Chain A
Amino acid sequence: MRYVEQEKVIKRMNGRLVVNTIFKGLFMAATLLALLALVVLLYRIITQGASHLSLDFLMNFASRFPEKAGIKAALIGSLWLMAVVAPTSIILGVGSAIYLEEYAKQNKLTTFIRLNISNLAGVPSVVFGLLGLTIFVRAFSLGNSILAAGFTMSLLILPVIIVASQEAIRSVPKELRDASLGMGATKWQTVVNIILPAAIPGILTGSILALSRAIGETAPLIVIGIPVIIQFLPRGVFDTFTALPIQIFDWASRPQQEFQVVAAAGIIILMIFLLIMNSIAVIIRNKFQKRY
């Protein structure tokens, strides 16, 4: 008696294998399509904007004339913005992470803070702009200054930094902690001398990636009323300013074709900025990450 009809099996199996091959091809094609989108996007922007890139473009202020339009105020403005966002968001983020990982008791308050952080990460950036407009621009009367924009951006990327720092702190092995406490160190001494040094590569990597998000974020800046055309450089954090993404938005939304080229050139500068920041993050991750 034959349990298996070989011919039938082979016939069916062939069909199933064909289906498998077809779908493998489809799945691969979908992945390639996503990668292709990235390539097309980068290629388009580089070919569009490269002709406008020059030292003048970096050194000129914004202008009504596309050929004279430069990015100086926006570039310096973005650097100023980072000077406010980086310390504010890292102090708040790392502090929150230390609290949640090292000090927080397992109670309702802690659960609430955790839940709140994950929900905050899902709030659209434009809504953070409305928060910044009401609280920082109006209630604190900071106006459309670097400080108001910086605080708004800090709150926007805070959840990302907290989560990254939490992961970095959690990955420090328990033995290090126990050894330090066993030697008579207090909890805070352990945190400062043992845990933070071990967690710093992870914290920095996460923070730089979060900052690179802040540098490209446009919507909150528009909502809090950051101006576009600025013919001077800010002297302090209370001065008004303009930033790269806002400048690009302005150029991109102008009807003249010539400004499209200027916008593309601005995007190249922004992407170079991001590339540098991401490279630093990768280098830190690869170089300093210790495996326990």
Chain B
Amino acid sequence: MRTSVQEMIAQSKGKKNKKFIEKIIPWILLLIASVSVLTTIGIVLTLIIETITFFRRVSVFDFVFGTTWLPFSNKEELYGILPLIVGTLKVTLIAVIVAVPIGISAAIYLSEYASETVRRIVKPVLEVLAGIPTIVYGFFALTFVTPLLQTFFPEIKIFNAISPGIVVGIMIIPMIASLSEDAMSAVPRSIRDGALAMGSTKFEVAWKIIVPAALSGIIASVVLAVSRAIGETMIVSLAGGSTPKFDGDFAGSIQTMTAYIVQVSKGDAGYGTTIYYSIYAVGFTLFLFTMLMNILAQYVSKRFREEY
């Protein structure tokens, strides 16, 4: 009997230990899970604090409405962000023109026309396209797409908005195709069969039934892709140039918000200089743009979702 009592004591001791572990584990895990929240807080605080320092030296009005970006000038430094925003929008516009028709067409093809075998081969290959590092795309834009464009349109310069725009477009095609295809596949089979039974052609089913039904998902995918294009850095750094310009010229050198941050970081701007703080102000603007797009995408996919 004695041993069994001892065993029971030992067991209960073990249980106490166990109970302690069971109690502390959720808190440790919560702590780990809060790292992602801390990251967001860190990003927002970092950007805001350094941007405030920047605005002590440069007026907010000049920054938001200024049409000249000349941080490296010897005479008077000018920090008007509009040229950088225009540069970003030029590249994004071209990327959207390239990626939206191709991405949505590919999604319709994969979801409505392609056989199971074709879909199983094509989808992973498109994912490879999404997994290629952006530095590789940038190199491709600079050494292949730009010279190719120059043979057809000699007025295009070495650095321009068109070539990085096209390549950013290629980069975001898989995103649009894959997310739109998911939205189209989610439309129930019965609706498709009903339309086909009424005598519709496959194109009519796709265009008049499936696309409208999946529209919220398709729009959300495009908005997310636009957000990616706005934040894309290496392609525009390599092939876009470093000339911030406030005009509508696509053939000449431009500079985007992201490319400016890279340019300054590469040049090792001294800590504490206005230029150093300017990358945070530009980063904050960039952050606001992409955040707005992400929230818009979430809103669209929630608000306009068709439930079946």
Contacts and interface: CB of A to CB of B under 8 A. Distances in A.
A98 interface: yes
Interface in B146-172: 170
Interface string B35-55: 111011011001100100000
Contacts of A119: 40, 291, 294-295
B110 interface: yes
Contact of B33 (A113, A130, A187): A113
B240 to A, nearest CB: 12
B133 A270 contact: yes
A73 interface: no
A171 to B, nearest CB: 18
A35 interface: yes
B197 interface: no
Contacts, number: 248
B258 A245 contact: no
Contacts of B142: 252
B185 to A, nearest CB: 15
B287 A123 contact: yes
B265 A225 contact: yes
Interface footprint category on A: 35 or more
A238 B188 CA distance: 55
B283 A127 contact: yes
Interface stretch (B1-9, B223-231, B245-253): B223-231
B233 A124 contact: yes
B198 interface: no
B280 A130 contact: yes
Contact of B136 (A23, A41, A123, A219): A41
B304 interface: no
A18 to B, nearest CB: 10
Interface stretch (A61-69, A79-87, A154-162, A199-207): A154-162
B266 A222 contact: yes
Contact of A31 (B106, B230, B294): B106
Contacts of B268: 225
Interface in B260-308: 261-262, 265-266, 268, 271, 279-280, 283, 286-287, 290-291, 293-295, 298
A202 B153 CA distance: 49
A267 B136 contact: yes
A213 interface: yes
Contacts of B271: 138
Contacts of B114: 31
A19 interface: yes
Interface of B is mostly: helix
Interface in A75-118: 91-92, 95-96, 98-100, 103-104, 112-113, 116-118
Given A30-B106, A127-B283, A127-B286, A216 B36 contact: no
A34 B203 contact: no
Given A34-B173, A130-B280, A95 B29 contact: yes
Contact of B43 (A123, A212, A274): A123
B210 to A, nearest CB: 12
A30 B105 contact: yes
Nearest to A33: B102
B33 A122 contact: no
Contact of B102 (A16, A34, A223): A34
A124 B46 contact: no
Interface of A: 16-17, 19-20, 23-24, 26-31, 33-35, 37-38, 40-41, 44-45, 48, 91-92, 95-96, 98-100, 103-104, 112-113, 116-120, 122-131, 133-135, 138, 155, 158-159, 162, 186-188, 209, 212-213, 215-219, 222-225, 245, 248-249, 252-253, 260, 263-264, 267, 270-271, 274, 278
29 contacts: A30-B101, A38-B128, A41-B137, A44-B143, A96-B32, A103-B26, A103-B30, A117-B36, A118-B294, A122-B291, A122-B294, A124-B230, A124-B290, A126-B261, A129-B261, A134-B46, A187-B25, A188-B21, A212-B131, A213-B131, A215-B133, A216-B135, A219-B233, A225-B265, A248-B135, A249-B135, A252-B142, A264-B143, A278-B131
Given A135-B42, A155-B35, 20 more contacts: A16-B203, A23-B207, A24-B202, A31-B109, A34-B170, A35-B125, A92-B32, A98-B29, A119-B295, A122-B290, A123-B231, A124-B286, A126-B258, A127-B231, A130-B43, A138-B271, A213-B131, A218-B134, A218-B135, A248-B135
